[in-house]
Structure 1
Amino acid sequence: MTAPLRTQDTIAAVATPAGNGGIAVIRISGPDAVGVADRVFRGRIPLSSAASHTVHYGSVVGEDGRPADAILATVFRAPHSYTGEEVVELGTHGGHFVSRAVLRLVIAAGARPADPGEFTLRAFLNDRLDLAQAEAVADLIHARSERAHRVSMEQLTGKLSGHIRELRSTLTDLCSLLELELDFSEEGIELARRDELLSKLSGVRERIQTILSRYSTGKMAREGVRVALAGKPNVGKSSLLNILLEEERAIVSEIPGTTRDVIEESITLHGMEFVFTDTAGIRESVDLIEKEGIRRTMQHIRKADIVLFMVDASEEIGKGEADMLEEAMNSLPKHGKSILVVNKADRKASGFSLPVIPDRPSVEISCKTHTGIDMLKSMLFETAIPDHADESDAPLITNERHKDALVHALESLDSAERSIQQNMSGEFVAVDLREALNHLGDIIGLTTPEDILNNIFARFCIGK
């Protein structure tokens, strides 16, 4: 059973990462935050007398009056704080023991340990953030690349929320007209002309579809671009991975089938994280361990955003290799993309020719001389983020919950349009529009059930 939301008590937690450092911050929030802090703080003035956004030097003391640490206490008065409540942040010396000792004193003074994400949950409940912005806080904390940081900041500063509110405003106006018509149903007055209604719904639909079309780009920005290295054994996959990583991470051997398990490593290209998977070579095999590695290879191909299919230019491509290449390409997911990488271009065989694969870009490289590596890096970024992807004014959505809500909103709009085309009463159209409004409201937390809120904020770290 989901625990009810608790917002009337005062909470505390260490808000900085665990481990040794210059400082640690203990955050206290709630109606008695200043009172709790005053019970452990000794400074020039009581914190209860302090103005908002002021910093005070003093000591934290225990019940025996002995100082536990010299600190800086920062006071934030409601509603002008992160949570919208009374907040005090105690800046202690860094280190696990000191910060935990001060936290224990704060809890003994009347605070309770905060749940994961509870400070941000309170910010949401007190209208300091909407739900999409609150989720962006977690994404910002976990951002591993410049692009992930940028997308998180766009969402945190309200780009997605602004678009959602505009869409809801349009639908609310239409819904209000339809519901007003019901008061004049006996007179047969049509306040919302059906052709104009369809036109406005079409505009809303197009905006939602544009946002949805950017989901895969947003997801890659948030989680990294998953790139699988695939090809027959000994084609140079491990060598290429080592070159991209600029370190000897994968085993390179003349013996085919050396890579039997999956190796996964990340690099950053043009501010974007790319997660490379070096997979087992694809070939017919009777070795049970190698066969399991090949099975896993196909799994990673199916999950990849981009697959680098590698071939060896120093020998001709046989029918068996061409067939396996085609099978692997057919395993790509709908959103998946691929690049044909021709390795050993410096030793190209006289009879070598690439298989004809429509709409598949290719690049020639040499892992020995590093020829073509920069071109491959550029192609990877351009394949992941096409030139036009950054030109759209539409927000990038990175969260599957947001995508699902938009899909459901489109389904409700479909139903509304069918009702109009079938000349059904405005009452039925209004019901569909209300459903679309609710789905859009879920994104920013206007209609989100309590159990879903608990689930979202439980994924945050303690102290945020």
Structure 2
Amino acid sequence: MTRTGLSDTIAAIATAPGSAGVGIVRVSGPGALGVADGVFRGRRRPSATRGGRFLFGQLVAEDGEVLDEGLCLVFRAPHSYTGEDVAEVQTHGSPAVLARVLSRVLELGARPARPGEFTLRAYLAGRLDLAQAEAVLELVNAGTDTARRQASLGLSGALGERVERISARVTRTLAALQAMLDYPEEGVPDEDREVPLGAAEADLEALVGTARAGQVATRGARLALIGRPNAGKSSLLNALLGYERSIVTPIPGTTRDYLEANLSLAGVPVTLVDTAGLRETGDEVEAAGVRQAISLAARADLVLVLEDGSLPREDLPTELPGEARVIRVRTKADLPPAWTDPAALDVSAVTGGGLPELRDAIHAALIGDAARGEAWLTTERQADAARRALLHVRAARTLPDDLAGYELEEALRSLAELTGRDVSEDVVDAVFRNFCVGK
């Protein structure tokens, strides 16, 4: 995103496309309140109003035509989302009304906002750090309560605070090491080196450990159901969904192509993928489905390996991908067992027995030990910066005092990149490229 024009007054429709009860046109910049004066007619002009006030009046075109009745919200710099003067015009959510109001605002001197430009201005003004800016987009896109909760924590600055605590420990040791250069005979005591660095390493390990949970919470997870024909894959998919989505018959090979269905498991967005039964077959179409099942398992976040517990146990005719995360499920647990395995979950799609335990196991495999009340790493950018910081702290702990300083400086640089205090324009542009216009 180009940084030119950041002193311009910008405007955009800030509500979703389509008809709604309320629509918003947002204006930000040095001329925002003057622009609002030209489109809003009420008992008081927006430019003559203190910040934090609502005004009721009419939205008018250049020739005085009344476009709608509505509200004008006035925010004065620096007490606004962007840190600039901001006017938000609220009308009925008619696309025609919003288009006319925006057109008039642009005639009055504002220019169309670029995607994410309001939040970019908030970031550049110091109203948000980069992790908070990412949380804005995650909150807009949150489809489950877990995603909403994490986005809210991120927006509150909780992740930045967590990173700052780690940075403070690293800075304490770095300062002690730099002071040691003036008094080398004294060395650095453990309370200024090993204690804070040990705590920083532990905190970074815990933070890096949240990356998988954070990304699963925001983008969702793919679960592949694999097993031999008639192992109960389609029945289990239907049972987890609570309705019949996949065709179930006693005929082996019924499922030849894969089938997807979405649901929320304990607040985690999950895509279940029902795949073709794994077996050797001369049927070219079914064989293609088997190859596809293996490929889907390799790309899944979690693989449920289903085995019919009412029949003698057989090995799968193919090896699972080495990196696959697996939960083994002994299906048809309502029938007399032909075998048992303490490592497998007993589940019956007919009675529902074992389904709560399976849901818990899926949630644990996807979210792990990430503490619910703490901010998680929710993007690969954040996770990469945290991993690099951890590697530098670990390296510093193994080096003598006169060499450890460089590693700690690099750790601090990585932590500053995580929050956006020290980051390239390319990284910032990559973050805001995903925003919509109006946010």
Q: TM-score, normalised by structure 1?
A: 0.88
- The 2-side partners of 1:57 and 1:19 are apart by 24
- Unpaired segments of 5 or more residues in structure 2? none
| Letter of the structure 2 residue corresponding to residue 299 of structure 1 | S
- The 2-side partners of 1:121 and 1:374 are apart by 44
Asked if 1:353 corresponds to 2:339, the answer is yes
| Letter of the structure 1 residue corresponding to residue 420 of structure 2 | G
List per-residue Cα deviations over 1:158-186 (Å, max 9, x = no partner). 2211111111122223323333444x3xx
- The 2-side partners of 1:225 and 1:163 are apart by 26
- The 1-side partners of 2:311 and 2:391 are apart by 53
SS at match of 2:334: helix
Partner of 2:207 in structure 1? Answer: 211
SS at match of 1:446: coil
Partner of 1:362 in structure 2? Answer: 345
Once the two structures are superposed, the pairs formed by residues 165-244 of structure 1 within 5 Å of their partners are 165-182=164-181, 184=182, 188=184, 190=186, 192-193=188-189, 196-244=192-240
Contact 2:305 2:326 in 1 (8 A): no
Are residues 251 and 63 of structure 1, via their aligned partners in 2, closer, same or farther at CA, if it must alter by over 3 Å?
Answer: same
Once the two structures are superposed, the pairs formed by residues 275-424 of structure 1 within 5 Å of their partners are 275-318=271-314, 322-324=315-317, 327-328=319-320, 331=321, 333=323, 336-343=325-332, 345-348=333-336, 352-354=338-340, 360-365=343-348, 367-385=349-367, 389-390=370-371, 395-420=375-400
- The 1-side partners of 2:326 and 2:229 are apart by 22
Are residues 373 and 109 of structure 1, via their aligned partners in 2, closer, same or farther at CA, if it must alter by over 3 Å?
Answer: same
Partner of 1:20 in structure 2? Answer: 19
| Letter of the structure 2 residue corresponding to residue 324 of structure 1 | P
SS at match of 1:324: coil
Partner of 1:145 in structure 2? Answer: 144
- The 2-side partners of 1:173 and 1:68 are apart by 61
List per-residue Cα deviations over 1:230-262 (Å, max 9, x = no partner). 111232211221222223322223332232222
Q: Cα distance, 1:189 vs. partner?
A: 5.0
Asked if 1:154 corresponds to 2:140, the answer is no
Partner of 1:103 in structure 2? Answer: 102
Once the two structures are superposed, the pairs formed by residues 110-125 of structure 1 within 5 Å of their partners are 110-125=109-124
Partner of 2:93 in structure 1? Answer: 94
List per-residue Cα deviations over 1:141-173 (Å, max 9, x = no partner). 111111111111111112211111111122223
SS at match of 2:294: helix
- The 2-side partners of 1:201 and 1:379 are apart by 35
Q: Cα distance, 1:9 vs. partner?
A: 0.7
Contact 2:278 2:316 in 1 (8 A): no
- The 2-side partners of 1:28 and 1:340 are apart by 55
Asked if 1:450 corresponds to 2:425, the answer is yes
Q: Cα distance, 1:385 vs. partner?
A: 4.3
Partner of 2:265 in structure 1? Answer: 269
| Letter of the structure 2 residue corresponding to residue 400 of structure 1 | E
| Letter of the structure 1 residue corresponding to residue 344 of structure 2 | P
| Letter of the structure 2 residue corresponding to residue 333 of structure 1 | E
| Letter of the structure 2 residue corresponding to residue 456 of structure 1 | V
Contact 2:212 2:366 in 1 (8 A): no
List per-residue Cα deviations over 1:83-115 (Å, max 9, x = no partner). 111110010111222212211111121111111
- The 2-side partners of 1:44 and 1:438 are apart by 53
- The 2-side partners of 1:101 and 1:369 are apart by 58
* More deviation, 14-23/53-62: 53-62
Are residues 52 and 195 of structure 1, via their aligned partners in 2, closer, same or farther at CA, if it must alter by over 3 Å?
Answer: closer
| Letter of the structure 2 residue corresponding to residue 459 of structure 1 | N
| Letter of the structure 1 residue corresponding to residue 59 of structure 2 | V
Are residues 60 and 189 of structure 1, via their aligned partners in 2, closer, same or farther at CA, if it must alter by over 3 Å?
Answer: farther
- The 1-side partners of 2:77 and 2:421 are apart by 23
Contact 2:131 2:419 in 1 (8 A): yes
List per-residue Cα deviations over 1:342-382 (Å, max 9, x = no partner). 22x33436xx224x5x7x331131x3344443443344334
SS at match of 2:317: helix
Q: Cα distance, 1:123 vs. partner?
A: 1.0
Q: What is the total number of aligned residue pairs between the two structures?
A: 439
SS at match of 1:453: helix
Out of 250, 253, 273, the residue aligned to residue 254 of structure 1 is 250
- Unpaired segments of 5 or more residues in structure 1? none
